[in-house]
Amino acid sequence: MVLVVTFAIADIFAGAFICWPIHYLWAESHDGHCINIWKFYRYGTLPNIIIDVFMLILPMPVVWRLQVSRQVKMGLGATFLTGSIGLATSIARTVTFFKHDPLADATWISVTFLIWSIVEPGVYLIAACLPCYRPLIKFILERNQKATSTPYRAKGPNDLSLKSSYSARKDESFHAGSTRPQSDIEMGTPVRPRVASGHESDEQSLISYRI
């Protein structure tokens, strides 16, 4: 932590007072001097890579000495290694500074440098927040799983045989001319058949239709 804070303060002051007096940076007619701007831009990003590597390696021995299962250790290791995506952008930014001369055409080349200078801290911020996304991702996956699961049970041969036997029993009771109320299994209410000789009752039509 001391190393990171110290380097941040040094980088801020070096960038702010890269020339002295400060206006000498854009008005070189005045007496003044600047540090080697070319080397400052190129080698000023190298400490970021070195510090990032140490930050990734530092917690690993502690993680693997924990009295937990191997699966938990691997999960913790993967959580810490998410910072490696920020390390990749830091390396890309450094390579860009080494491939181009920042002083050759400052107006044109500075666009590329500025893009990578914005991408690098943005990716680090995403990497730092990745462990917090796990509950959100789990919630989304469970919600999608519930949405795609079918709420209906497939009909098997047993269902068809049960309904056929039930229909046969209902028909027999109606044709027998029974006036005792028959319990409707599906509706849960007693149904009193109205039997007409040689004709199907309304209740029979309803039951046959529903089955």
152 found inside a domain: no
pLDDT, greater one: 163 or 57: 57
Instruction: Quote the percentage of the chain above a pLDDT of 70.
Output: 69
Within a domain: residue 106? yes
The reply to whether 21 and 82 lie within a common domain is: no
30, 47: one domain: no
Which pLDDT band holds residue 151 (cuts at 50, 70, 90)? low
150, part of any domain: no
Answer yes or no: do 71 and 127 share one domain. Answer: yes
Residues 124 and 175 grouped into a single domain: no
**What pLDDT was estimated at residue 201?**
56
The confidence score (pLDDT) of residue 171 equals 55
CA distances in angstroms from 72 to 66, 76, 89, listed in the order given:
9, 6, 28
CA 16, 18, 20, 22 torsion: positive or negative?
Answer: negative
Domain of residue 196: give its range: 158-210
pLDDT, average across residues 182-199: 48
Burial tier of 111 (Cβ tally within 10 Å: 0-12, 13-18, 19+): exposed
- What is the reported pLDDT for 185? 46
Q: Are 46 and 128 in the same domain?
A: yes
Which run of H or of E encompasses 19? strand 19-20
For residues 127 and 94, membership in a common domain is answered with yes
The verdict on 25 and 63 lying in the same domain is no
Instruction: Please report whether residue 151 resides in a domain.
Output: no
| In the predicted structure, residue 184 carries a pLDDT above the cut 50 | no
Among 79-83, 128-132, 160-164, 169-173, the minimum mean pLDDT is found in 160-164
* Residues 128, 53 within the same domain: yes
Is the backbone of residue 49 left (phi > 0), alpha (psi -120 to 50) or beta? alpha
Task: Please tell me whether residues 57 and 102 are part of one structural domain.
Answer: yes
Residues 57 and 17 in one domain: no
- 29 with 88, same domain: the answer is no
Q: What is the mean pLDDT of the chain?
A: 74
pLDDT tens-digit readout, 12-58:
998 899 888 888 888 766 688 888 888 888 888 888 888 888 888 88
Per-residue pLDDT at 111: 85
- 148 in a structural domain: no
Residues 153-189, buried b or exposed e (16+ Cβ, 10 A)? Answer: eeeeeeeeeeeeeeeeebeeebeeeeeeebeeeeeee
Q: Is residue 144 part of a domain?
A: no
Number of domains making up the chain: 3
Is 177 contained in some domain?
Answer: yes
pTM: 0.54
Q: Are residues 17 and 49 in the same domain?
A: no
The pLDDT of residue 169: 56
> Percentage of the chain surpassing pLDDT 90?
2
Looking at residue 209, its pLDDT comes to 47
Look at residue 147 and tell me if it is in a domain.
no
68-120 pLDDT per residue, tens: 888 888 888 887 777 778 888 888 888 888 888 777 777 787 888 889 889 98
